[in-house]
Amino acid sequence: MSSKDTAGAVVIGGGAVGTAVACYLAMDGVDVTLVEHGEFAWGSSRRCDGHVVTYDTPPGAYSQFCKYGQDMFHAAEKFLPVDFEFSPEGLGLLVDDERDLDAVCANYEGKKNEGVDVTLWDRDDLRHHEPNIGDSILACLNFNGDCKLNPMRLCQGLAMHAEANGATLMTRTSVTGLRTDKGRITTVETDKGLIHTDNVILAAGVWTPLLADMVGLSVPVRPRQGHVLVTERVRNLVGKNYAEYGYLLAKGGKTRSDATPEMEHFGVAFVLEPSHAGTILLGSSRRYVGMNIRPDPTVMRIIAQRARHFYPALADTRVIRCYAGLRPCTPDAKPIISPTPLQGLFVATGHEGNGIGLSLITGKLISEMVRGQAPFMDISYMALDRFGTSSVTHSAGTTTA
């Protein structure tokens, strides 16, 4: 760890989004310091799966944004100094309810018209590719360009590349206050000393609202807990990543016709990711329980039951560990990538379950904003002021939390 008392920009948060912002700022020639309370990927970025996907967004502007963000990983794979286990092997969206088939077919047509590489398997096609799939599964919509990676290795690679381009990295450093003067940010207070700067980027996931509150700024992000189960090593059970169509409904807070009351209560929907180590990651769940990250045995049991519904052979597979993490969730389920009413203060958070996949494009866009450039694509619908709660309530003058 190194430190200094001035910087062109200070990024607060060392997860996927924060390290990506620091990386792109450094590559664009900005004198940037990255401050992280713990170690890189200390928070949510080590308690998630590694999906980089487009399957979970309906056709439209946000879907195209996610596709652009996904494409950026192909370039990053070539310049980052760490093998982050990037695998563009595709993801299948499984359908087990006939009532969902029309919506899935409409999704297929819409994505295809956007240029997304999608294919639709009927029951026979699915069994040909996945002989261990459950008998009740009807079809699969394949997003052939969707990817997976190792989030912790990604964060490490982004931080290392930022440092190689001149960034200062300060881990195990806590932010204790933010100072302002005449309507602009001036200083970051830490437990290691002051950092004088003209630009601060709040990229601390679910902890961002606490930082924003230091200058009287409201950022409407809530922590939404999710579980991931990890199995023992398994061979030849499953070919690639899968999720169920109901995942889209659960993520959007919609009622599912075939879900049990327990599934609805805990927001459980099937997601599967084979890891490079040979284990399988199983999810998912969604519930608001504050900052609690303790795994719940009831949620674990329901996830396991749902996984066996899609892959019955998982009944003979042991779960070796489970973890829970916190997704930064906004009221409309889209990120906040935005300047603020306080000059020099920017927000990059609220990606919910897409923080890994949208990390690079967020870094690129924030770098453009900090350097006074217009974003290369329209992201006005991700501005903080869309919530109408972005005014700075502190009076003008020097402010210290």
CATH fold of 9-46+152-219+332-387: FAD/NAD(P)-binding domain (3.50.50)
Burial 144-160 (b: 16+ CB within 10 A, else e): ebbbbbbbbbbbbbbbb
- Roughly what angle, to the nearest 10 degrees, separates helices 16-27 and 359-370? 50
Contact 19, 40 (CB under 8 A): yes
Q: And the tokens for 182?
A: 């005449």
CATH tag, 91-144+222-329: 3.30.9.10
Are 147 and 75 contacting, i.e. CB atoms less than 8 angstroms apart? no
Q: In what order do the strands lie in the sheet with 271-274?
A: 118-121, 139-143, 91-95, 241-244, 271-274, 280-283, 222-231, 319-329
Q: Which tokens go with 383?
A: 């501005």
**50 in Cβ contact with 149 (< 8 Å):** yes
Phi, psi for 344 (deg, rounded to 5): 90, 0
pTM over 0.85? The answer is: yes
Give the pLDDT of residue 353.
87
Beta pairing, strands 271-274 & 193-197: unpaired
**Sign (positive or negative) of CA dihedral 12, 17, 19, 24:** negative
pLDDT in tens, 180-218: 999 999 999 999 999 999 999 999 999 999 999 999 999
DSSP states of 119-172 = EEE-HHHHHHH-TTS-TT--EEEEETT-EE--HHHHHHHHHHHHHHTT-EEE-S
Where do you find CATH 3.30.9.10 in the chain?
A: 91-144+222-329
Q: Which stretches in the chain have pLDDT values below 50? A: 394-401
> Does residue 228 contact residue 281 with C-beta atoms inside 8 Å?
yes
231 — phi, psi (to 5°)? -90, 170
pLDDT, residue 42, reads 86
Find the farthest-apart pair of alpha carbons in the chain and give their distance in angstroms, rounded: 68
Q: What is the pLDDT of residues 102-131, one digit of tens each?
A: 999 999 999 999 899 999 999 999 999 999
Residues of the chain with CATH 3.50.50.60: 9-46+152-219+332-387
**Exposed, middle or buried, 315 (CB in 10 Å: 0-12/13-18/19+)?**
exposed
Q: How far is CA 154 from CA 12, 68, 174, 279, 356, in A?
A: 17, 18, 23, 19, 9
DSSP structure string for 381-394 = GG-GGGGS-----S
| pLDDT at residue 255, as a whole number | 80
